[in-house]
Amino acid sequence: MLFGFANTVILSQNIKVSAGPNRAVQKKYALIAKNVRNVKVNGGMVYLSQKKNKVMQISLTEKLKKKEVKSNIYYKHHLISKAAKAYFPVRNDRIFIQNKRNEILFSGGSQSKCFSMFGHKSIDDCERTFRVHSNEVVLKNIKKCWSDAGTFSYVKNNNLIVTGGALITVLDGECYMNDTKRTFFKGKADQVKQVVAGGYNVFVLMKDGSVWGMGDNEKKLISESSEKYYKEFVEIVPCGVKAIAATLDNVGMLKRDGTLWLWGEKTENQTVTCSTTPYQIASEVKEFSLGMGYYKAKTGNAIVLMLKNNNTAYGWGMNKGYALTSKNKKGWIDKPVKLKSNIKHVYVGDGTTFLLDNKNRLYWAGDQWYTWLMEWVKA
C-alpha cells in the first residue's frame, strides 16, 4: 500500500520517498536541465540522461535554488542509474532498465509487481511481492523493448510480449483477476517497429507502415463497430505510417508524407464525438508527441506537440493548464500555434509539455501534479 502524507510518500520497509507540493503551474517554458542527451516522459514522470548510461528522474514540483543546482539540473532530481543502456519508465513507481548485457532490471514500489508482467494468480502471489524492488533482473537476452503508460513490451523468440495495465479487463478487480502478460504477433515480432499504450489499449506500428490495435473500443479507437473489446490485434491503418502515439481518448499517427492525424475523440463546435476515421491536424511535421490534460471539459483533453521540418515546435489541443503556455488562449486550441524555434525534440506528459532545443537544453510548461522521486533505485 502507498500512502501520502504532506510532502512525503511512505512505502514499505520504512523507506521514505520525498515529493513536492501537490501542484506546480508553469505558464511559460522554464529550463529543467542543460547538456541533455535523451528524454522520456511517462505520465507525470520525467527522466533524462546527460551523459552516456546515466539516467536521472526529475520532480517538476520542486525547483532547486541556485546554490543547490548540480549537474546543470534546475529541478529536484535523483540518480536512477549509472549503467543504463536504455531505460523504460512505467507509470507511477516503476521502471525497467536495460544494461549492456541486454538484461532487464526492474525497480518499483511496494505494490509495483501487481498489474504487471509477473503473472499473479492469487492474492497470496500479490502479497508475497509487497515490498520495494530495486534492480531485480527479470529478463535476459532482450534487445527490443518499449514502455508507455502502464505497459512494458518486449520481443523474445520473435514474439511480442505485452505486459501491464493496458491489458486489464476487470476494471474493478484485483491484480490476479487479469491476464497482464500476453503474447502477440507470434513469429512476426521482428516486423514490429513501435508499441504504444493508451488507457486499456495497445497499438503497434509495423515496419511496413501498418497500424494495429487491441483493447477497449469505447472511444472507437479500434473500429467503428459496436464491439466493446478486442482481445486480439486488428489492422486499423494498412500502410504509410511513420510513428504513432496514444492516450485514453486518442491515437495519433505521423504519416510518411509528413501529415499528422488523430482518431478517437474529435472536438467540433464545442461538441465531442468519437470515430476511427482519422482527421488531419497538421502537415510538414517530422516528429510529434501526444498526451492529455487533467480536465473535464466540453471539449477534448488531447495535447499535441509537433515539430515542423523547420525545427519549430507547435502545439494543439487543451491549454487549460498552460501546457501550450499563457501566450496562447486558455482552453481548447483548434489550430496549431507556434511555441518555440530551434527545437530538435518534443514530448508531452500529463498536462505538461517539454521541448529539447538544438543546444540540448530541456524546457517545460504546464500543470504538474504531485510526483515523487524513486529514491530506492540506485542502479
pLDDT at 1 over 60: no
Task: Give the integer Cα–Cα distance in Å for 274 and 268.
Answer: 11
- At residue 17, the pLDDT reads 42
The structural domains of the chain, with segments of one domain joined by +, span: 24-369
Q: What is the pLDDT of residues 9-50, one digit of tens each?
A: 333 333 344 444 568 899 999 999 999 999 999 887 899 999
Predicted structure pTM score: 0.92
Percentage above 90 pLDDT, the chain: 66
Task: Give the integer Cα–Cα distance in Å for 120 and 111.
Answer: 12
Question: What pLDDT band is residue 207 in, cutting at 50, 70 and 90?
Answer: very high
Question: What pLDDT band is residue 213 in, cutting at 50, 70 and 90?
Answer: very high
- At residue 296, the pLDDT reads 64
- CATH number for region 24-369: 2.130.10.30
Task: Give the integer Cα–Cα distance in Å for 328 and 318.
Answer: 11
- At residue 11, the pLDDT reads 34
Question: What pLDDT band is residue 379 in, cutting at 50, 70 and 90?
Answer: low
DSSP string, 157-220: TTEEEEEEGGG---TTS-GGGS--EEEESTTTGGGEEEEEE-SSEEEEEETTS-EEEEEE-TTS
Percentage above 70 pLDDT, the chain: 92
Question: What pLDDT band is residue 297 in, cutting at 50, 70 and 90?
Answer: low
- At residue 16, the pLDDT reads 42
Q: What is the pLDDT of residues 169-191, one digit of tens each?
A: 877 778 889 899 999 999 999 99
